[in-house]
């Protein structure tokens, strides 16, 4: 009887503790439910009265990072244009398909031998998609060629860009964007003009003249004779407001700089895409050969490298993990198109948008996305035809958290309020009081604004969000609304 009573006491104690535990859990669930209910009410109130949404369309999805549970839905299944939020899909597909250590290669090859300082044959420059190749890298490759004893090339200099197809622009890129730094042509052989890796571009530095009515001084990077500069600028008094316009004539490499610059004013930097990137790369290789004392006896043109050509010099890009930073933080469009074509080449043997986008769809299906409700037209988001619901974006951001490369992806996202451009990126001047608790990809097109990513709340919880705004008259108002929504999440 004694042991029976002791057993009853122990059993009752266990039942009491168990009941208290479940009551505590129920209290937590109830508190969380109240919290999400309050959050939803606050967001509903904001969205119902915000003037930027008059006549506009929004798709908003908010999930818990721990469970994937949707805690707020505003037209979350409506397909909208994502703008550069599409880069999230491209990054995930590239990390899955190529891997974070993947590097792009550029080769110098020859179809003849080297003897007594002569290369007895043609020199081939074979590009394999490197979006970061700089003039300094070209110079390094040429010096390595010179160190192998080459002083004279008896044949031709031939650029081989056949690693990808010869379609230079994605299907929906308007002709007016082709001349802009964000609308660069895509080739397997291209050169960047600066260390932010603006591929297939030239960078112009515009400095006021030394006296009134004189032309501004214009410097090209990299220096070249491939583009033609028409300087139609005028230096004006210091107290007047300048106005500079830089345009490349469509279908040519003629760049016209017009307008006024105040004397003693600040240097102006502008980036302009070039026409036909492979030929530009060949021009810079020829220039480097001259600068390093190597004489080319033949001609310069595009062609195909023979299968038996010997590799003399190879240059490799930084790994994909590093390339995601300019792609995601600075939103460099060309990288997205390069990644798409590379995925097509690696997986399907064809470096084209068609094959690369097929690969992307397969990867996205693997993460549970409904491909039937998504329309992909490019890898950068520059197309106004791309479509995706906000729920599919948050589903992807939730699903990838288990991947080994997830931290690489997470670190590539812009960080709100961080002044360093290579950390804050496109969020460096937004939500500056967020204490670096917001990491997200932004997007902007005419009439389109978007933001998707992760926010750490005051309670220490991580929330995944996607906000797609379309048919906006004023994108600035749209971005103000985005910031208000995200800060409500951060303060929850």
Return the active site residues. 84, 87, 331
**CA–CA separation, 296 vs 157, rounded Å?**
8
Long-range contacts of 166-172 (CB under 8 A, 24+ apart): 167/352, 167/353, 168/276, 168/277, 170/337, 170/353, 170/377, 170/378, 170/379, 170/380, 170/382, 170/383, 171/353, 171/377, 171/378, 171/383, 171/385, 172/377, 172/378, 172/382, 172/383, 172/384, 172/385
**CA–CA separation, 111 vs 186, rounded Å?**
27
∠ Cα 108 111 115 (to 5°): 90
**CA–CA separation, 182 vs 473, rounded Å?**
22
Instruction: Give the other-Cβ count within 10 Å of 245's Cβ.
Output: 11
Burial class (CB in 10 A: 0-12, 13-18, 19+), 23: exposed
- Are 184 and 213 in contact by the 8 Å Cβ rule? The answer is no
**CA–CA separation, 25 vs 67, rounded Å?**
16
The residue written with tokens 């006021």 in the block is 208
Which phi and psi (to 5°) does residue 441 adopt? -95, 130
């Amino acid at each position: 009887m004694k042991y029976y009573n002791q057993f009853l006491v122990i059993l009752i104690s266990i039942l009491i503790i168990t009941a208290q535990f479940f009551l505590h859990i129920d209290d937590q669930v109830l508190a969380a439910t109240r919290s999400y209910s309050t959050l939803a009410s606050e967001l509903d109130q904001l969205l119902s009265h915000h003037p930027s949404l008059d006549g506009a369309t929004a798709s908003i999805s908010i999930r818990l990072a721990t469970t994937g549970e949707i805690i707020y839905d505003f037209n979350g299944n409506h397909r909208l244009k994502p703008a550069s939020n599409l880069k999230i899909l491209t990054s995930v597909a590239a990390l899955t398909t190529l891997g974070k250590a993947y590097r792009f290669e550029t080769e110098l090859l020859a179809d003849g031998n080297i003897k007594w300082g002569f290369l007895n044959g043609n020199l081939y420059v074979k590009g394999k998609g490197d979006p970061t190749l700089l003039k300094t890298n070209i110079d390094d490759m040429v010096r390595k060629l010179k160190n192998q004893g080459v002083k004279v090339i008896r044949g031709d200099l031939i650029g081989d860009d056949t690693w990808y197809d010869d379609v230079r622009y994605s299907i929906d890129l308007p002709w007016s964007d082709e001349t802009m730094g964000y609308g660069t042509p895509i080739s397997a052989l291209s050169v960047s003009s600066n260390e932010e890796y603006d591929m297939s571009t030239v960078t112009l530095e515009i400095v006021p003249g030394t006296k009134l009515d004189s032309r501004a001084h214009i410097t090209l990077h990299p220096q070249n004779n491939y583009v033609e500069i028409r300087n139609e600028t005028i230096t004006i008094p210091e107290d007047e407001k300048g106005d500079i316009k830089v345009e490349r004539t469509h279908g040519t490499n003629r760049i016209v700089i017009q307008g006024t610059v105040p004397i003693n004013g600040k240097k102006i930097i502008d980036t302009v895409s070039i026409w036909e990137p492979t030929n530009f790369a060949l021009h810079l290789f020829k220039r480097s050969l001259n600068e390093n004392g190597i004489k080319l006896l033949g001609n310069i043109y595009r062609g195909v490298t023979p299968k038996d050509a010997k590799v003399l010099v190879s240059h490799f890009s930084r790994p994909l993990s590093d390339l995601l930073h300019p792609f995601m933080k600075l939103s460099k469009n060309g990288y997205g198109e390069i990644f798409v074509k590379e995925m097509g080449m690696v997986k399907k043997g064809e470096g084209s948008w068609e094959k690369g986008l097929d690969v992307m769809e397969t990867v996205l299906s693997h993460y549970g996305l409904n491909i039937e409700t998504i329309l992909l037209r490019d890898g950068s988001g520059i197309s106004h035809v791309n479509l995706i619901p906000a729920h599919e974006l948050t589903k992807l951001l939730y699903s990838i958290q288990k991947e080994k490369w997830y931290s690489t992806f997470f670190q590539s996202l812009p960080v709100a309020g961080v002044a360093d451009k290579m950390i804050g990126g496109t969020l460096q001047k937004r939500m500056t009081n967020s204490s670096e608790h917001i990491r997200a990809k932004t997007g902007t097109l005419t009439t389109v604004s978007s933001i998707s990513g992760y926010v750490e709340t005051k309670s220490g919880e991580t929330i995944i969000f996607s906000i797609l705004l379309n048919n906006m008259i004023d994108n600035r108002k749209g971005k103000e609304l985005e910031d208000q929504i995200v800060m409500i999440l951060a303060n929850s």
